[in-house]
Amino acid sequence: MEFLITVGTGSLLSVFNMAKIIIPLMIFMEIAKKYKILDRIGMLFKPVTNLFNMGEKSGLLLVIGLVFGLSYGAGAIIQHTEEEQVPKKDLILMMSFLSLCHAVPEDTLLFIEIGAKWYYLLGSRLFAAIIFTFFLSRTKKFRNDLQVEIE
Amino acid sequence: MINAIQNGTKKGISMTIKLSKVTIPIYIIIKILELTPFFLYLSKFFSPVMKIFNLPGEAALPLVLGNCLNVYAGIGAMSALNLNSNQITTLAIMISFSHTLFLETAVIKQVKVDAIKMVFLRIGTAIIFGILTGQLLGGN
């Protein structure tokens, strides 16, 4: 009986703790979508996309994936490629970055909630994604846009 | 504005329900397994590998769940096990890099990039950063 009570309260508490993070986060994201806050953040990403030798529009796509997650980011990227040609190398760079680092607010907050140190978590994710994407963009194959143009 | 708040609340609630369907069963199963010698064997079996991350053997469970299912499964397992803040940080970093591999690899494939390379990238980064943080923070 005691066991049931411990397990019951423990699991309900963990759901409550997740709800406490997820619901406000979703509200914030809906507001961000409505007022196109991401477009503005995307502009701020220009130095980052320059660093990776990527097209200007990629900044917004990266921000969408970083904030909303991989499925949402991939969806936005696919939609964008239907509207205009995106070099294959940009797609590989974007997906490499987003593979390592996506859905940052949600994941980070949920891990903090159970006791992770956020600066290590956020720091290593951003560091790994930026460093890897940067070096990939400087490899021989990626330096020349024309070589890896979409077939 | 009110519309956005309503939509956000709805999405948040439905997502919380979706997540609890994953975390509650995992939490309960782990608590039941704790009454059995299961973790003793699991821990013994995995502790040589987990040592490189400065993690106890049973921490293999959230890693496996996180990679095969999703982050929430990993979190459910982590909160049921008795881990300290450093161990949670190391696990959180590893799971952040590499999680939900089956589903997310399918998503990556849709962008028409080499998804298998992305899997290696994610697992590799998780292992490297797992070792680095584990050794940097120490076991306790």
Amino acid identity of A22?
Answer: I
CA B47/CA A66 separation, integer angstroms: 34
Residue of chain A whose alpha carbon sits nearest to that of B105: A99
ipTM for the predicted complex comes to 0.89
Give the residue extent of every domain in chain A.
2-143
HEC string of A59-85 equals HHHHHHHHHHCHHHHHHHHHHHHHHCC
From A36, A27, A93, select the one nearest B8 (Cα to Cα). A27
More confident residue, A84 or A145: A84
Q: Where residue A144 falls among pLDDT bands split at 50, 70, 90?
A: low
Asked whether the beta carbons of B118 and B105 are under 8 A apart, the reply is yes
pLDDT tens for B42-78 read 989 999 999 999 999 999 999 999 999 999 999 999 9
At A151, the pLDDT band (50, 70, 90 cuts) reads very low
Question: For B71, which residue in chain A has the nearest alpha carbon?
Answer: A107
Residue B70, both tokens: 């999703």
Count of CA atoms in the C-beta half-sphere (13 A) of A84: 6
Could you give the CA distance from residue B20 to residue B131 in angstroms, rounded to a whole number?
31
Q: Evaluate if residue B97 carries a pLDDT over 70.
A: yes
Please tell me the distance in Å from B36's CA to the nearest CA on chain A: 14
What is the rounded CA–CA span in Å between residue B42 and residue B87? 17
Measuring CA to CA, which residue among B104, B19, B43 is closest to residue A16?
B19
Indicate the residue of B13, B86, B89 with minimum beta-carbon distance to A121. B89
Q: Which of A2, A7, A9, A33 to mutate to test the interface with B (most CBs of B within 10 A)?
A: A7
Q: What angle do CA A54, A60, A66 make, to 5 degrees?
A: 100
Alpha-carbon distance of B9 to A46, in angstroms, equals 32
Distance between CA atoms of A108 and A126, rounded to whole angstroms? 12
Cβ pair B96:A121 closer than 8 A: yes
Å between B126 CA and nearest CA of chain A: 9
pTM: 0.89
End-to-end CA distance of chain B: 47
Q: Give residue B54's region: left, alpha or beta (phi > 0; psi -120 to 50).
A: left
Cβ contact B12–A78 (<8 Å)? no
What is the pLDDT confidence band of residue A150, given thresholds at 50, 70 and 90?
very low
DSSP letter at A148?
G
Q: Where are the beta strands (DSSP E) in chain A?
A: none
Contact at 8 Å (CB) between A51 and B28? no
Give the whole-angstrom CA distance, residue A147 versus residue B1: 47
Find, among B135, B134, B140, B136, the residue nearest to B63 by Cα. Answer: B134
Report the C-alpha gap between B99 and A8 in whole angstroms.
27
Residue B19's pLDDT is what?
84
Residues of B in contact with A110 (CB under 8 A): 71-72, 75
The answer on pLDDT for A87 being more than 60 is: yes
